[in-house]
């Protein structure tokens, strides 16, 4: 079987799974899975860029995805003028002071020598920290006191939410630059721990800094790039059209909005996939893979390994940020409490490894396939447990236990899938070519 036929067949399988879901569980569920599958595919593309192209072990995907979500809030929500008046400028002055402290400390580290270096750096850091707290804390309190039940934050820029997708990418890229500057060049597993830590810190900041995006009080009711179902249902033209294809307006409107999202997401995915393919086949892509396969040799050929690593680390993280902004747009809300590393970091890794690291189409396939599995494992497991326990009498502890445990099937299944693929097809379903 030629490789093209095999690849097409695999994507065909995804299509069959989705259509099957539509026929059995309804088209709304199928479209829901498709939409998150598309977003997952984009995240997988980003990780594939870092791991597949360059061999960078980034397990802080969750942090970049969350930053994308933050961008969605900061771009689309309405500004809160009272909060800006209460402490808007002061809070930015505080942040600027903090940044200045770090820059000054880094400068001192670079310029000075010996004992003066240590002392000056310490003085700058300690002094800067207290100065920063002195300016920042009152401003923060003032902002969070403004109408805390509904806002309590600075609000956003009131721009179309579609704009937040590239902004999410930029925000993630900025964070990646800072992280890359400090942590790249460390050994692979140190980088892993560092990124894992950064992701936790980003989530902690988003949970606690209420002035930014309300923290765990969540931001709900975000703007949407597609029409609201309720508006469609009241639009006579739409109702008439729905009737002409024999659909009831409620169902038609929900399907319509989900389809609209699917179209938007597909466009973004196709653009990114096209760019990633271009990059892979360009001299730049070949250089990246050369660095991945043998850093020393690449360095001997005059390639600046650290700089190239930084570059691809930023690019990959930016893609994860875009995906994060898209996800928050789709959800219509930002809930920092729901970001969990197993779901947002390690699951994306399973997607990349199963799909085939180093191959963009593999990453996309892995994203769609694993997401479908992630959603469907629970109902499938429940069905399985129902069949297995059908011989037992109702109300027995074992039966209840078995049915209860179906809810925990997900992680187990994902682990088994990852281990099986690594063992029997270590290069993934669509291997690198």
Interface with another protein (CB under 8 A):
55, 57, 129, 137, 182-183, 186-190, 192-194, 196-198, 200-201, 204, 207-208, 340-342, 346, 349-350, 353, 404-405, 408-416, 418-419, 422-423, 426
> CA distances (Å), 400 to each of 4, 378, 383, 407, 411, in order?
47, 16, 13, 12, 20
Q: How crowded is residue 64: how many other Cβ atoms within 10 Å of its Cβ?
A: 36
Closest approach, Cβ 347 to another protein, in A, equals 9
Closest approach, Cβ 317 to another protein, in A, equals 17
Closest approach, Cβ 133 to another protein, in A, equals 8
Nearer to another protein, 183 or 213 (CB): 183
Nearer to another protein, 208 or 425 (CB): 208
* CA torsion angle 58 62 65 66 (round to 10): -140
Q: Which residues pair with 155 in a beta bridge?
A: 79
Nearer to another protein, 104 or 411 (CB): 411
Nearer to another protein, 84 or 177 (CB): 177
Nearer to another protein, 332 or 341 (CB): 341
Nearer to another protein, 267 or 407 (CB): 407
Kind and range of the H or E element at 76? helix 61-76
Is residue 73 within 8 A of residue 329, CB to CB? The reply is no
Q: Which residues pair with 79 in a beta bridge?
A: 155
Closest approach, Cβ 63 to another protein, in A, equals 11
Unique residue bearing structure tokens 């930014």: 212
Closest approach, Cβ 412 to another protein, in A, equals 3
109-117 long-range contacts, CB within 8 A, separation 24+:
none
> CA distances (Å), 362 to each of 119, 201, 326, in order?
52, 31, 21
Closest approach, Cβ 363 to another protein, in A, equals 15
Nearer to another protein, 82 or 200 (CB): 200
User: Residue 372 corresponds to which tokens in the numbers above?
Assistant: 């479908």
What is the chain's percent helix, strand, coil content, to nearest 5? Answer: 80, 0, 20
Residue 35: name the closest of 279, 421, 242, 332 by CA: 332
Closest approach, Cβ 396 to another protein, in A, equals 18
């Amino acid at each position: 079987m030629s490789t093209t036929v095999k690849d097409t067949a695999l994507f065909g399988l995804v299509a069959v799974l989705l259509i099957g879901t539509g026929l059995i569980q309804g088209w709304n569920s199928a479209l829901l899975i498709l939409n998150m599958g598309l977003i997952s595919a984009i995240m997988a593309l980003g990780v594939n860029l870092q791991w597949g192209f360059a061999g960078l072990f980034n397990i802080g995907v969750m942090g970049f995805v969350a930053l994308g979500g933050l961008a969605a809030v900061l771009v689309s929500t309405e500004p809160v003028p009272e909060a800006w008046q209460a402490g808007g400028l002061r809070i930015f002055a505080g942040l600027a002071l903090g940044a200045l402290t770090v820059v000054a400390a880094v400068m001192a580290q670079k310029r000075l020598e010996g004992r003066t270096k240590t002392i000056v750096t310490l003085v700058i850091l300690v002094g800067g920290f207290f100065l920063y707290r002195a300016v920042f804390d009152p401003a923060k309190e003032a902002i969070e006191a403004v109408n805390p039940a509904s806002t309590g934050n600075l609000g956003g820029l009131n721009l179309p939410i579609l704009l937040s997708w590239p902004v999410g990418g930029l925000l993630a890229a900025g964070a990646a630059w800072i992280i890359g500057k400090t942590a790249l060049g460390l050994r692979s597993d140190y980088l892993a721990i560092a990124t894992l830590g950064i992701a936790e810190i980003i989530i902690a900041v988003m949970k606690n800094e209420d002035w930014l995006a309300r923290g765990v009080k969540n931001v709900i009711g975000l703007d949407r790039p597609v029409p609201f179902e309720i508006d469609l249902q009241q639009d006579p033209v739409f109702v008439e059209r729905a009737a002409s294809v024999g659909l009831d307006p409620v169902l038609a409107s929900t399907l319509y909005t989900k389809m609209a999202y699917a179209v938007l997401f597909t466009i973004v995915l196709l653009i990114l996939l096209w760019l990633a393919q271009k990059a892979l086949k360009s001299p730049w892509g070949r250089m990246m893979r050369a660095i991945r396969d043998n850093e020393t040799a690449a360095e001997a050929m005059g390639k600046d390994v650290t700089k190239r690593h930084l570059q691809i680390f930023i690019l990959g993280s930016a893609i994860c940020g875009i995906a994060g902004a898209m996800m928050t747009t789709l959800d219509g809300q930002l809930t920092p409490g729901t970001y969990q590393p197993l779901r947002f970091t390690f699951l994306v890794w399973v997607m990349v490894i199963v799909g085939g690291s180093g191959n963009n189409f593999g990453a996309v396939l892995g994203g769609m396939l694993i997401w479908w599995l992630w959603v469907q494992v629970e109902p499938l497991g429940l069905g399985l447990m129902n069949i297995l326990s059908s011989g037992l009498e109702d109300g027995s502890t074992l039966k209840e236990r078995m049915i209860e445990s179906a809810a925990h099937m997900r992680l187990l299944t994902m682990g088994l899938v990852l281990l099986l693929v690594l063992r029997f097809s270590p290069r993934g379903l669509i291997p690198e070519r």
